[in-house]
A and B are shown apart, each in its own frame.
Chain A
Amino acid sequence: MSEDKEVKKRELLLPGDVIEEEDVKPGRGTFMKDKKIYASKLGVKTFRAGYVNVAAQSGRYDPKRGDKVIGTVTDVNSSIWMIDLNAPFPAVLHVNDVPWRVEFGDTASYIDVGDAVLVKISNVDELKKVQVTMDEEGLRKLNSGQIIEIAPSQVPRVIGRKGSMITMLKGYTGCRIFVGQNGRIWIDGDIQGQYLAVKAIKMIEEKAQALGLTNAVEEFLKKETGKDLDLEE
């Protein structure tokens, strides 16, 4: 049914384009004017829970509550750390939001400027002030490995459908990998594995061709590692 495929092919929406849909509410990346819904960002249309959204295809990271992100500490004082998330503003990590009891004035001995952290966004207020927390399982200071950056809009591609891409990357490179929603990716493992993972992620980012991207990356990893893994499970 090639005709069906044609219909399903995604259309790029540009700011100001009308979204012709019945019975949906305007969601993220849209605005309403004269009872019509318009795209406010360059992106593609998605639906969720009765809302139509425009998933941005470019742009900076826009912090959302609940996102797990990777940050770098840019400043420390007696009660907070300032964390750069590659967002418009630095986020605040308060001493009460870390899994240790920090003595007053002793913040820098726990986390210091230049340290990398895996944190969760706990709040974004009306003035877009962002608060993050580390007090939850899996969140922590990152002590080894490296961090690379991709465009936040590319995050879903690196994760892949149902996590297929990231599972493959981990399997072939033997690395621990975490993809932050802010486009920062933490990779840890032996140097060869890290090197390979970085190359594969660059490939995902650069190769715009979609169809067969997973296959292309798998071929590359097979060739480089000499392995042939069955990752279907």
Chain B
Amino acid sequence: MGMDKDMDLIDEDGLRLDGRKFDELREINIEAGILKRADGSAYLTWGKNKVMAAVYGPRELHPRHAQDPSKAVVQARYNMASFSVPDRKRPGPDRRSVEISKLMSEALEEIVFVEQFPRSAVDVFVEILEASAGTRCAAITAASVALADAGIPMSDMIASCASGKIDGHVVLDLGKNEDNFGEADVPVAIVPRTGKITLLQMDGNLTIEEYEEAMELAINACHEIYDIQREALKKRYSTSIDSYEDLEEV
């Protein structure tokens, strides 16, 4: 936000730089269960974003003094590969990724039945392999699918999407240039079954009316994304459950 604007982000037909309408998402694809070693995993592409999420656990939390005798600790780690951005990023966590990891852990902890696994950790690792605006929303969306794939007991999944403001218009799912040159960005995550907000950030400048409009766009999109998450899991397990019929009484 706040960079000097040297381009028009919306053309005379009311379309955005990549030809999208105001309320249109970039293309999203999710594949569940693609890593062998992890307990659960998901690979997500969202526009040019490429995100891999893996879940390990519940497992013993180290160090021991960090264990909580009443519940599991959800530990999310958001990490950007050094080649995921135009200027090489130094490996390892920076302030931004530490903050995102914290918000993700908190958002995910809300849906996981953590009290079923005292003293343990549910580790969620998200690697951003290629970044093109909206990686935190992509990361949470992928992490939720990986958690479900790992068989972690949860009250629901989380779907996430950002909306924002470019050239004076409230639009959905900011792309790279829109993120750099736009006027506001509002990443949101919701628990779709209840509609409750579990992640919310905002930066830029919005009127209260614009904020409400932005939230409506983002929340509608989260429901759309939720369908894609569900489809990914159904695709992964559709064949294996066919065999279950005969085996139930074993």
A residues with a Cβ closer than 8 A to B are: 8-10, 12, 14-16, 29, 31, 33, 38, 40-44, 46, 55-60, 88-90, 126-128, 153, 155-157, 159-163, 208-211, 213
Chain A interface: which of B3-11, B55-63, B176-184, B206-214? B55-63
Complex CA distance for A10 and B50, rounded to whole angstroms: 33
Contacting pair A88 B243 (CB below 8 A): no
Contacting pair B247 A59 (CB below 8 A): no
Contacting pair B58 A60 (CB below 8 A): yes
CB of B230 closer than 8 Å to a CB of A: yes
Q: Does more than half of chain B's interface fall in helix, strand or loop, or is it mixed?
A: mixed
Q: Which of B206-245 contact A (CB under 8 A)?
A: 230, 233-234, 237-245
B240 contacts across to A, CB distance below 8 A: 57, 208, 210
CB of B46 closer than 8 Å to a CB of A: no
Per a CB cutoff under 8 Å, which of B118, B243, B249 touches A210?
B243
B118 contacts across to A, CB distance below 8 A: 126-128
A162 contacts across to B, CB distance below 8 A: 249-250
Contacting pair A57 B148 (CB below 8 A): no
Contacting pair B151 A157 (CB below 8 A): no
Contacting pair B151 A40 (CB below 8 A): no
Per a CB cutoff under 8 Å, which of A38, A59, A89 touches B119?
A89
Counting from the closest, the 6 A-B pairs by CB-CB distance are A59-B151, A210-B243, A16-B156, A208-B239, A15-B154, A156-B247
Complex CA distance for A211 and B244, rounded to whole angstroms: 10
A87 → chain B closest CB, angstroms = 9
CB of B196 closer than 8 Å to a CB of A: no
A128 contacts across to B, CB distance below 8 A: 117-120
Which partner residue on chain A sits nearest B113 by CB separation? A40
Contacting pair B40 A59 (CB below 8 A): yes
The 0/1 profile, CB within 8 Å of A marked 1, for residues 115-140 of chain B is 00111100000000000000000000
Per a CB cutoff under 8 Å, which of A57, A126, A160 touches B241?
A57
Which residue, of A55, A128, A153, has the highest number of chain B Cβ atoms within 10 A?
A128
Known A60-B39, A128-B118, A128-B120: A161·B153 in contact at CB below 8 Å:
no
Known A58-B149, A157-B247: A14·B157 in contact at CB below 8 Å:
yes
B250 contacts across to A, CB distance below 8 A: 155-156, 159-163
Contacting pair A31 B120 (CB below 8 A): no
Complex CA distance for A161 and B33, rounded to whole angstroms: 27
A56 contacts across to B, CB distance below 8 A: 151
A58 contacts across to B, CB distance below 8 A: 33, 39-40, 149-151, 237
Complex CA distance for A74 and B50, rounded to whole angstroms: 39
A33 contacts across to B, CB distance below 8 A: 155
